[in-house]
Amino acid sequence: MQDQKKVAFYTLGCKLNFSETSTIARSFKNEGFQRVDFSEAADIYVINTCSVTDNADKRFKTIVKHAQKANENAFIIAVGCYAQLKPEELAAVDGVDLVLGATEKFKITNYLNDLSKNDMGEVHSCEIEEADFYVGSYSFGDRTRAFLKVQDGCDYKCTYCTIPLARGISRSDTLENVLNNARTISEKGIKEIVLTGVNIGDYGKGEFGNKKHEHTFLDLVKALDRVEGIERLRISSIEPNLLKNETIDFVSKSETFVPHFHIPLQSGSNDILKAMRRRYLRELYVDRVARIKQVMPDACIGVDVIVGFPGETDEHFLETYKFLNDLEVSYLHVFTYSERDNTIAAEMGEVVPLKVRKKRSKMLRGLSAKKRRAFYESQLGTTRTVLFEGENKEGYIHGFTENYVKVKTPWNPELVNTLHQVELKKIDEDGLVRFEYVNEPAVPA
């Protein structure tokens, strides 16, 4: 077919965005479009935006330029969180033709009647109150794992966060639909499913388009555990106040759910947690970590932390540093606070200078490297199962154990998307772990 139109996608931000890009891409495929790589010439470029970090905002313009370089006459569409929050700003970027908000992005092909270039981007963006229906998504990021969206939106009112403004109220997929999507994924031979959403511990709310709850997050976890053919299930990020003992205990006994939790903390100072309007204090966080380690001593625990929030003094920061240093966690995701329009935090006084924010961020990144190293060292000599990924990285193939230790071995295409029992042996100079196979012949080179 000579005149088959081509479409390319670029995703910024979180796992949830990746799952939604995949769903949007499937709608183009159903309309007869051919998907190509973003670096290739395409008729349409779709950029799925993020608003969580400053960097994501700035990168948008660079990505638009890349698209224009590949095809100066291409039709460029912006969707995603930033497109919902600042549609006019994106529409004004040179080369952008169409900006779609939170609900419109899933009806993207309805807006493609006319692909002629516009002087100014056209905006179709709902009031965020209208984003009250649920669209299920799942993505195949690579051949080894898929991101399965189970929930969207958030009812929390953290003072620094624009996500409720960008994604609307908390709402969930029906349990039946999640299970059907999980089966579809496993039938494609994908070995690992990562559950994703904005606030997945809130799963069940809005399952029927209202606030009615029929299922809880624990119900979801139990039901997914029974789906045939899934080798691994991973809970991505879950709020500490929504991670219940019953869920932790269930994961500890599950054959498919892996011992890996990512739990946002944001600050180790109760003063700052209160100013952020988080729904817990540090004592609860200590309790969650202790509970996980009690029933799963080898579990990997990741932490989100924000530095430089308004009013964060040196004392507050050192409180956070010491808190994390003493806590049995495995790595940190460090975010440098950046002001966001229409948030309470942006109006707060006691602004922390950028230079100080950067210094604090660097200190915590250093602590994260130390934590990860200590966790990897604690795992040497243990037997684990590794799922190998699909990329040749400078002659090596990488993989992850169930408890998220990253390993490497010389590249061998036969290993891609396979699970192997290994004994973790030593940490290489690049910080990754080397291993030996257990009770099975090494895969032939």
Phi-psi region of 428 (alpha: psi -120 to 50; beta: other; left: phi over 0): beta
On the question of pLDDT at 82 being above 60, the answer is yes
Question: pLDDT higher for 166 or 383?
Answer: 383
On the question of pLDDT at 1 being above 50, the answer is no
Using pLDDT thresholds of 50, 70 and 90, give the confidence band for residue 145: confident
Return d(Cα 262, Cα 331) in angstroms, integer. Answer: 9
Return d(Cα 109, Cα 111) in angstroms, integer. Answer: 5
8 within 8 A of 46, measured Cβ to Cβ: yes
Mean pLDDT computed over 346-366 = 94
pLDDT digits (tens, 9 = 90+) for 177-188: 999 999 999 888
On the question of pLDDT at 352 being above 90, the answer is yes
Using pLDDT thresholds of 50, 70 and 90, give the confidence band for residue 426: very high
pLDDT digits (tens, 9 = 90+) for 362-371: 999 999 999 9
Amino acid at 387: L
The pLDDT, as a whole number, for residue 440 is 66
Phi-psi region of 14 (alpha: psi -120 to 50; beta: other; left: phi over 0): beta
| Residue 359 CB coordination number (10 Å) | 13
The pLDDT, as a whole number, for residue 208 is 58
On the question of pLDDT at 442 being above 60, the answer is no
| Residue 294 CB coordination number (10 Å) | 13
pLDDT digits (tens, 9 = 90+) for 178-233: 999 999 998 888 899 999 988 999 998 765 555 666 799 999 999 999 998 899 99
Is pTM beyond 0.85 here? Answer: no
Residue with token string 């000579």:
2
Mean pLDDT computed over 336-351 = 91
pLDDT digits (tens, 9 = 90+) for 86-123: 888 888 888 888 898 877 888 887 777 656 655 556 77
- Percentage of the chain exceeding pLDDT 70: 89
420 within 8 A of 385, measured Cβ to Cβ: yes
Which of 26, 98, 93 lies closest to 66 in space, CA to CA? 93
Lookup: tokens for 160: 């620094």
Distance separating the N- and C-terminal Cα atoms of the chain: 40
CA distances from 81 to 6, 49, 198 (A): 24, 6, 12
pLDDT digits (tens, 9 = 90+) for 62-80: 999 999 999 988 999 999 8
